[in-house]
Amino acid sequence: MLAPYRAIFTAPGTKGFSAAGLLGRMPLSMLGIGIVTMISQVSGRYGLAGGLTATLALAAAVIGPQISRLVDRYGQRTVLRPTAAVTVASVAGLLLCVRLGAPDWALFVCVTAAGTTPSLGSMVRARWAAIHSDSSQLHAAYSFESVVDEVCFILGPILSIGLSTAWFPEAGPLLAAVFLAVGVCWLTAQRATEPVPQPRAHHTGGSALGSAGLRVLVATFTATGAIFGAVDVVTVAFAQERGDKPAASVVLAVYALGSCVAGAVFGLLRPKGGASRRFLLGVCAMAVSMIPLQLVGNLPALAVALFVAGLSVAPTMVTTMALVEQLVPRAQLTEGMTWTSTGLAVGVALGSSAAGSVVDTSGAGAGYAVPAAAGALAAAAAFLGHRRLRPAPEREGPQRDEHDEHHQRDDYVA
């Protein structure tokens, strides 16, 4: 039953770089929620907390694709170590400012500089793509990495919120910075599986964002990110209103657990039909799953609703990464994958900021209207743009199945 997962790890070095990627991706789920928890512990200002996480996400959205473009040209080791060092130093500065009671502007300067956080998920997936050219193996590899993402989102909030509430407010972001430093050093030490850098001569068309299909994915993921950012902020406030703030970490972990379970099962399947149609269905399912959140009145009911909502997340993410691999030239693969992360980051920024403002003015119950609205926008973007999800010219050929070719011809006729 687990044969597809065992098969992808037969190549030398795959276990090592995937483990390093797990550790280095922990800040993805720890840093933002850790800042929310830290600021709410110190000042009780959810608006400030949401603004800081929004700034962090927007800075990462601007800087992240540029870092990945440099990685495609010069290699992971050359680029990742200095950029991670900047992030670690910036987080240390943020924690020092919070401890010393520095003015708000100093906090925003620090989180802006922390936007140099490299996209470890894109780096690991680029290694998988360089090793496994077979589409079924890549499907299993991307599914496995989606599960790894969700493991991060299960463990990360528990560690970050738990440490910040039980130990000291800055503990969660501090541990996130340590994980990033160790993960990047470990990953970049594994040179044998590092994708071969592509010199400037191989980059023929400027940014990977020149692909119309990639722009559709980024736009959709911007709205999707708003779902995630809003759910994080509102859930912390929802738990606090009910007198059990640490329980927010468990509830958010249940959300990630639903996605983890779905991702593990999805990797064992051989999905049929065009990837663009699966993408559309997945996004619509994510949007519909936000509706029950408007009706919950206690933490157990919220946990159940979020578990169900999580079931649509990982399959949609896996399908998206497969689409990116088809949509952009191989020389720009890391950059293309990072652009989807950038869309998520922008969405997280917008969603967390909007949710923080709604919570401050109307309470946590009203806050869940923000992810519902974001889900509707994501479904609209996917519906209007899914026919543009066409493979890049160099990706077209025998690797596509008959159904995909037929669907592609339909798209061009349309």
Residue-wise pLDDT for 8-56, tens only, equals 888 888 889 889 989 998 887 788 888 888 888 888 777 788 788 878 8
The angle, 0 to 180 degrees and rounded to 10, between the axes of the packed helices 76-100 and 14-42 is 20
Nearest one of 31, 379, 381, 63 to 232, comparing CA atoms: 31
Please work out, in degrees rounded to the nearest 5, the angle formed at the alpha carbon of residue 218 by the alpha carbons of 110 and 289. 95
Tokens of 340: 């989807």
pLDDT attached to residue 340: 82
CATH code for the domain of 263: 1.20.1250.20
DSSP 195: P
Interacting residues of 6 by C-beta distance below 8 A, sequence separation 6+: none
343 domain-assigned: yes
Instruction: Report the C-alpha gap between 167 and 347 in whole angstroms.
Output: 31
2 domain-assigned: no
Mean pLDDT within 154-178: 85
155 domain-assigned: yes
Tokens of 196: 């071969």
Count up the domains in the chain and report the number.
1
Instruction: Report the C-alpha gap between 31 and 348 in whole angstroms.
Output: 12
Straight-line distance from the first to the last Cα atom of the chain, in angstroms, rounded to the nearest whole number: 40
The angle, 0 to 180 degrees and rounded to 10, between the axes of the packed helices 333-362 and 120-131 is 150
The angle, 0 to 180 degrees and rounded to 10, between the axes of the packed helices 120-131 and 135-166 is 160
Domain housing 385: 15-199+208-413
The widest CA-to-CA distance across the chain, in whole angstroms, is: 63
Residue-wise pLDDT for 198-244, tens only, equals 765 444 556 666 677 888 899 999 999 899 889 988 998 898 888 88
pLDDT at residue 165 is higher than 80: yes
Q: How far is CA 332 from CA 197, 208, 397, in A?
A: 10, 6, 19
Residue-wise pLDDT for 95-120, tens only, equals 999 888 888 899 999 999 998 888 88
Contact 314, 260 (CB under 8 A): yes
7 domain-assigned: no
When the pLDDT of each residue in the chain is averaged and rounded to a whole number, the result is 82
Binned at pLDDT 50, 70 and 90, residue 393 comes out as low
361 domain-assigned: yes
365 domain-assigned: yes
328 domain-assigned: yes
Residue-wise pLDDT for 73-103, tens only, equals 888 889 999 999 999 999 999 999 988 888 8
Residue 145 exposure: Cα atoms within 13 Å on the Cβ side: 31
